Amino acid sequence: MADLRTNFAGIDSPNPFWLASGPPTNTYGQVAKAFDQGWGGAVWKTIGEPIINVFSRYGAVDLGQNRMMGFNNIELISDRPIADNLKEIAEVKRNYPKHAVIASLMVESKREAWHEMVKQTEDTGADGIELNFGCPHGMSERGMGSAVGQVPDYTCQIVEWVKEVATIPVIVKLTPNVTDITYIARAAVKGGADALSLINTINSIVGVDLTTFEPQPSVAGKSSHGGYCGPAVKPIALHLVSAVAGDPVVKIPISGIGGIASWRDAAEFIALGAGTLQVCTAVMHYGFRIVEDLIGGHRTIADIRGRALPKVTKWEELDLNYHLLAHIDQDKCIKCELCWTACEDGAHQAIRRVPRNNGGPVVEIIEEACVGCNLCAAVCPVQDCITMRQVPNDYAPVTWKEYAAGKGKLAPRSEQFHTATWGTRA
C-alpha cells in the first residue's frame, strides 16, 4: 500500500486528496461518507450569515458527447445556520480524528466579526480555517468574496485580523479574477497566512438560450454571471498555481484546485508545487468514488512534488535553436486529411496533398516549411500517427534575450524562419 500521509501547513491527513468547499461538503452526512470512501480531508462549504439561494443554480458547457466540460454556478455560501454547520464540523472531527477538517469562512469586513467567527470555529476542533476570498458572484456584490480577494490591501488586512486570534493554520483561497495573482498571494503572506489555496472559480456566463435569449442558468427569464470550474479551467489553474509556487516572496504551502478529475490531473498540480489537492466539480459529476483513482495512481507524493516548477520559465528564456519536425506514420494514416486542412488554413502551409494512388500517402510534410508547431499532431484522430521529432544541429542553445543582445547565433533553420516572408512557401 502506498503511504500518502500528508502534512500541509501543520494539518495532517491520510492523503492529500481533499474535497473543496462546495455542495459536496455541505453536511455531516456528505463529509462522513467521503471519508469512509477514502478522501483525506474536506473543506466545509463556506460558512457565514445564512443566505437565500435561487432555485436555478447550475449551467454547463458540453464538448461533443462529453458532458460538463465546463461548469458554472450562481449558488452562494451555505444557506444553513452557522450553529448547525459548526455543530456538524465538530461531530465530523470527533468521529474522524485522523482526517483533515477545514472550515471555510466568509464574514463581513469587520474586525470584530472575523474575531467572533474564528473563535467559534476553533471551538469545533477544526484543523484549519480557509478564508474564502474568491467567490466571484453574489457575495462579492455584498463586499465579500472576490471583492476582498481582488484588492491586496483588503486581503492583507483581513488575514491580519484573523491571525490576531487564530491558533490553527489559516489558508487563504485566492480568486483568479485578477490581473496578476501573485500580488494577492504576496498580500496574504504579508498578512500572516499559513498556506494558500487556488484557484477559486472564474467569472463566466456559460451560454444563452437562442429561443428565449435567456442567459443560463435562467431564473425567471434572467441570470447573472457565475463561477466557472470543471475540466475546462485546469490549464488556467495550473498556470496560476505555478506562478504562485514559483514566486520568491510566497514560500508557503499551496493547495491546488481547478478541474482535477483523475490521478494524472492531481500529479500535474503536485509537479507544479501543490501540496494538497481539492476537488469539487468532478465529485458533483461522478460521486465520491473518484478518490479511488486519485489514490490508486500514486505511490508517493514527495518524488514528484515541484519537479516541473523549475521548467516553467519566461518565453524569452526558451531556446530558439531547438528544432522539431512533424513526422507522419503512413501505416497508421487513415487519409482523413485533417492535418492538411488545419495546417493549410490555420498554420504554416507545411503539408502537401498527394494524388491518391495504389493506397500510398495522401499527405506529406514539406520539411523545409515545417516549424514544428504541433498543430497537425493535435488534430490527428489517430494516436501517434503524427509525432514531433527533434532535428539535431550543431548550434548552441540561444534565447531571444541572448540573440537580441548579440550574444548568440541562430542555426540556419532558425535564421530561415526568422527572415522568411510568409505566404511564399506554400
Residues annotated as catalytic are: 135
Residue among 162, 152, 153 nearest 105 (CA):
162
SS3 for 270-287 is: HHCCCCEEEECHHHHHHC
Which residue in this structure is represented by grid cell 542553445? 397
Residue among 288, 265, 260, 266 nearest 71 (CA):
260
- For the beta sheet containing 58-63, the strands, ordered from the edge strand earlier in sequence to the opposite edge, are 58-63, 66-73, 226-229, 202-204
Round the CA-based radius of gyration of the chain to a whole number and report it: 25
Roughly what angle, to the nearest 10 degrees, separates helices 152-165 and 111-122?
A: 50
Listed in sequence order, the DSSP H helices in 150-262 are 152-165, 181-191, 234-245
Residue 1, C-beta contacts closer than 8 angstroms, at least 6 positions apart:
none
- As a whole number of angstroms, the distance between CA 355 and CA 266 comes to 46
* Number of residues assigned to the chain: 426
- As a whole number of angstroms, the distance between CA 83 and CA 317 comes to 54
Q: What is the b/e burial string over 118-141, where b = at least 16 CB atoms within 10 angstroms of the residue's CB? A: bebbeebebbbbbbbbbbbbbbbe
Q: Decide: helix, strand or coil at residue 414.
A: helix
C-alpha separations of 82 from 22, 86, 226, 413 in Å? 16, 6, 24, 66
181 near 244, Cβ under 8 Å? yes
Alpha carbons within 13 A on the beta-carbon side of 179: 2
